[in-house]
Amino acid sequence: MELTLLIELALNGLQFGLMLFLLAAGLTLVFGIMDFINLAHGSLYMLGAYFAASFIMATDSFWLGLALAVAATMVAGVILEVLVFRRLYQRNHMSQVLATFALILIFNEGARMVWGEQPLRLNAPEIFSEPVQILPGLSYSSFRLFIIATGLAVAAVLYVLVSKTRLGMRVRAGASNREMATAMGVNIKTIFTLLFAFGAALCAIAGALLGTILSVQVGMGESILILAFVVIVVGGIGSIRGALIGSILVGCVDTLSRTLLPSLLHAIMPAAVASSLGPALASILIYLLMAGVLFFKPEGLFPARS
């Protein structure tokens, strides 16, 4: 296996992991503070991608379309929180799962009615049309490098926001002990609305950026939502640091295994068996990673309540 291929796969895994982090960051704070299971989080990612495609097409500007998509998705997130989710906070987890699963179906059918069945494709800005030579013999997509830089920048902003500000102190207090934080005067309801708006904005950013690599289509939020839940379980519920480390781990394991496992199996078994077994094993490796982490650290790598 060539070194340049390994470096390229590692960068792809880092890029995918950081996009997972954008989804998992808002999800882990909502789950950690309010103990609320929101299966519709992936639908906001899909909605943000569709908004981005529509606004970019209407304005003929990637950056203006992205800004409008972030704003529109934030509004959608706040509306959902105020009109729907507030009625579910005191319900049990089964009620939350059923209600938010129903929202997935509603969002999917709504997207199908508005944008149709055919997938949409976003084009990266012209400034990122040329690859960047990282090493001799290794050229890498400049837009993927921009995605990596964006993910790292968001992680840094989140770290400062959660660790160094008064709002972050209240968020951490709510994640550690919601009842005590409420007794000390923290307005959990307002914080939760802000978290939903912020999480929706991160979903829109992830949807717009990944929409240039993948396709924007109905149901795109379900598969990535499963990975986001794996990330917050591995990293620790309510922990931003855990979400970052967990997302990078999951992204790299998923990306590397899908390429390396089939090649390794081809060397030790017949090609027909390796071709079918390789993708199957690669798809379950992240769940084996989750099982291994939970075996040694049942609360995740960096639980908020530690």
Per-residue pLDDT of the chain (306 residues; tens, 9 = 90+): 577 778 888 888 888 888 888 888 878 877 776 777 888 888 999 999 999 999 998 888 889 999 999 999 999 999 988 888 888 877 888 888 898 899 999 999 999 998 888 888 888 888 887 888 887 777 888 888 898 898 899 888 888 887 778 777 777 676 666 677 777 777 777 777 888 888 889 889 988 888 888 888 888 888 888 888 888 888 887 778 888 888 999 888 888 887 777 777 777 777 666 667 777 777 788 888 888 888 888 888 887 655
Cα separation of 49 and 210, whole Å?
8
The predicted pLDDT at position 274 comes to 67
The predicted pLDDT at position 42 comes to 87
Residue 22 vs residues 17, 44, 227, 267: alpha-carbon distances, Å:
9, 12, 12, 37
Domains of the chain: residue spans and CATH: 3-124+138-296 (1.10.3470)
The predicted pLDDT at position 178 comes to 67
